[in-house]
Each structure stands twice: as C-alpha cells, then as structure tokens.
Amino acid sequence: MRIGELAHRSDCDVETVRFYEREGLLDVPAREANGYRLYSEAHLVQLKFVRHCRSLGMGLPDVRILRSFQANPDLACDEINQLIDRQIERIHQQLDSLQLLERQLHKLRDTCHANRKAGQCGIMRNLARAAEGGDCSCHPPAATN
C-alpha cells in the first residue's frame, strides 16, 4: 500500500507517517520502481503500535525502546516494566502540577467576585502586579530562610 492508504488505515496524517519513519519508529519501506514507498501490513501494525504508545503519553525515546522489544520478542521484559513505572510516575507528577495550577487559578479567581470594569478587576490587578515583578494572589511570595 502507498503512504496515503497507510495513513488513512491508521487514522493519521501522511506527515505523521513520514515523521515516524524519519524517527526510525517504522521499518524502512520498500520502494516501487517510480520511487514511491510501498508499505505492508506489518507497517500498519507498527504504526498503530506507535500511535497507541503515543496515546498513552509516551515520548519518542520510550516508544523507540518498546519498538526494539517488539522487534526482539525473546528479550526479558524487566525494562518494559520499568519504562511503564516511569511513565506512571510522570503522570503522577503531571497530576500534582495540574492540581497546583488549579489551586492557583482558584486563588486568582477569588480576587474578583463582582461585575466590575476591567481596570477595577482583582484578576487583572493581580496579573498586572505580577507582570511588574510584584506579588500576586496565585503565586505567594517564596519563603526566605
């Protein structure tokens, strides 16, 4: 199959296929006499594998590692387990960061409860004060030792 069909069957853009190919995440396809790439069902499986990993938030280096295990199925899977454990830890860190961000936004939102003009809005005042190097409600001053 040609690249357009591969992209269509994997529900992605042609540029995505080219990108993953450049990144070495897909096996190099054969070429037709006219130079067009010729992809197989194996390429479709590889592409779907990569896209599934990416949908789980995995970065290209981790996907590359998993693809190497896919190509070498007799290897022990300890490193795969560690890779997934690291991904889970990254997700926990992201959750913590998002919860902090949510708390900061609530603090900022709490500075304006009335329908005022923008010049009197507590949110705008906090944002402007922070832009000028001052303290704001959402980012309390750092504790000094």
Provide the whole-model pTM.
0.78
According to the model, what pLDDT value does residue 144 have? 53
Residue 117's pLDDT is 86
Residue-wise pLDDT tens for the chain (145 aa)?
999 999 999 999 999 999 999 999 999 999 999 989 999 999 999 999 999 999 999 999 999 999 999 999 999 999 999 999 999 999 999 999 999 999 999 999 999 988 888 888 999 999 999 899 888 888 766 655 5
Look at residue 113 in the predicted model and tell me its pLDDT.
83
- What pLDDT, on a 0 to 100 scale, did the predictor assign at position 14? 96
For the chain, the domains span: 1-58, 76-135
Topology of domain 1-58, CATH: Multidrug-efflux Transporter Regulator; Chain: A; Domain 2 (1.10.1660)
Structure confidence at residue 135 (pLDDT)? 86
| C-alpha span between 46 and 38 (Å, rounded) | 14
How many C-alpha atoms does 123 have within 13 Å on its Cβ side?
A: 14
Q: DSSP letter string over the chain?
A: --HHHHHHHTTS-HHHHHHHHHTT-SPPPEE-TTS-EE--HHHHHHHHHHHHHHHTT--HHHHHHHHHHHH-TTS-SHHHHHHHHHHHHHHHHHHHHHHHHHHHHHHHHTT--S---GGG-HHHHHHHHHHTT---SSSPPPP--
